[in-house]
A and B are shown apart, each in its own frame.
Chain A
Amino acid sequence: MSIERRIIKATWGYNGDLEPLSELEDLGDAILVTFDLPRVKKEDVEINLTEDTVELKAKLSESVCWEKWGSIQKRLTFQTFQKQIRLPVHINQKEASASFKNGILRVVMPKLREKVLIHIE
């Protein structure tokens, strides 16, 4: 981690992005990633998957505005949640599924595995 990153460890960007809280859980055969997305509607959520990343972009139904706040001391408005998470294993994007309930987004991504049956001698 760079020195600058250690000092300016913000969960927001000047471009109007907020980093959502998220959690990654290994379910054995799949990876579950959840995101906490307050003030977001299901139709405003976009999820993009690669074999080892999940990328979220979600528009807030009402922007968040902070006035004279923190070190910048000016008005800041946030309109979107944005986050990319690198997954610990490769996943099968085509078999992935997502659900959204009470502001919590759940993305279940089956692991990409080639199973080989081993005979016991």
Chain B
Amino acid sequence: MENGPVTIVEEEGVTHKSPIVIEGLPDVGLVGTIAASYIVDKMDYAKLGYIESELFPPVMVIHEGKLISPFRIYGNEDVVVVLSEIAIPPDAVYPLTTALTDWFSSIGARLVISVSGLPMKNRIDIEKPEVFAIGNNDAAMKKLAAKQIELLQEGFIAGTYAVMLRQCMKRGLSAVSLLAQCFPVYPDPGAAASAIEVLDRFINLGIDVGELMGREEEIKLKARDLMRETALSAPEMQKGVEQDMPIMYR
């Protein structure tokens, strides 16, 4: 499916039954990336396709001698997971979210869930990160209330997931963002584990996050370079605005 400078390439024979979409693109603490990768691994999801764009860096990934795209889509008929192994260039955010949300509409997605982080300066003192949520319409808000997930009440959000919420809203797609308290510039498997536990209320994945926590140090070691690249693009993504106080007039 070609959409401006971004193309979603699906494998042949892939079918969808009103899937729930999980989006785990690189952001603060790599919460979404770590969570999405762990889910794909534990659920043994099949590769459904990939995303290509002239706006992405000219990079391919080699896994076990095979050439694959760093921007990939996994899942089954009921679940779609979007993840990336490299940082999203700021210039690609709008075209990418436009193309993805058009594709989500075309496959009849019933809910889009972005998994991301809420950067906390005192994260080191937080034993168990809390997860907050944002919904983009009444239906999404009702879902969050039904799952007893605390809402982010005031503030700014910035980055890919912020645009994703808006693009979904424009297309009448219900979307939520799950934001786990996290280290701003360090990979945070603990935050990803909290996010997965909350995600489980939507999809009943039944995933044990114990193994994720057991591999925490290994994941942090492997994720250093992606974290560094993601942190470098944070100023252009206006991530700093998330720490600002809104003027709060109505």
B224 within 8 A of A: yes
Contacts of B228 in A (CB 8 A): 11, 21
Q: Given A101-B124, A102-B124, A106-B124, A21 and B186 touching (CB < 8 A)?
A: yes
Answer yes or no: B217 CB below 8 A from chain A CBs.
yes
Q: Is the CB of B124 within 8 A of A38?
A: no
Check if B185 sits within 8 Å of A104, measured CB to CB. Answer: no
Query: When A11-B225, A104-B124, A106-B124 are in contact, do A23 and B185 touch as well, CB less than 8 Å?
Result: yes
Q: Which of A9-28 contact B (CB under 8 A)?
A: 11, 18-21, 23
A88 at the interface (CB under 8 A from B): no
Cβ–Cβ < 8 Å partners of A39 in chain B = 217-218, 221
Given contacts A23-B185, A36-B186, contact A103 B220 (CB under 8 A): yes
Chain A residues, Cβ within 8 Å of B109: none
Q: For B81, what are the chain A residues with a Cβ–Cβ distance below 8 Å?
A: none
- Determine if A21 and B224 form an interchain contact, defined as CB atoms under 8 angstroms apart: yes
* Contacts known (A21-B185, A104-B124); A38 close to B225, Cβ less than 8 A: no
Q: Establish whether residues A11 and B224, one from each chain, have CB atoms under 8 Å apart when the complex forms.
A: yes
Smallest beta-carbon distance A105→chain B, Å:
10
Considering only residues 85-142 of chain B, those with a C-beta below 8 Å from chain A are 124
Most buried by A among B186, B218, B220, B224: B186
Task: Decide if B10 is an interface residue (CB 8 Å cutoff).
Answer: no
Residues facing A in B197-250 (CB within 8 A) are: 216-218, 220-221, 224-225, 227-228
Q: Are A21 and B227 in contact (CB under 8 A)?
A: yes
Q: Please, how many angstroms separate the alpha-carbon atoms of A120 and B146 in the complex?
A: 62
A18 proximity list for chain B (CB < 8 A):
221, 224
21 A-B contacts (beta carbon < 8 Å): A11-B228, A18-B221, A18-B224, A19-B224, A20-B224, A21-B185, A21-B187, A21-B228, A23-B185, A23-B186, A36-B224, A38-B217, A38-B220, A38-B221, A39-B218, A39-B221, A101-B124, A102-B124, A103-B220, A104-B124, A104-B186
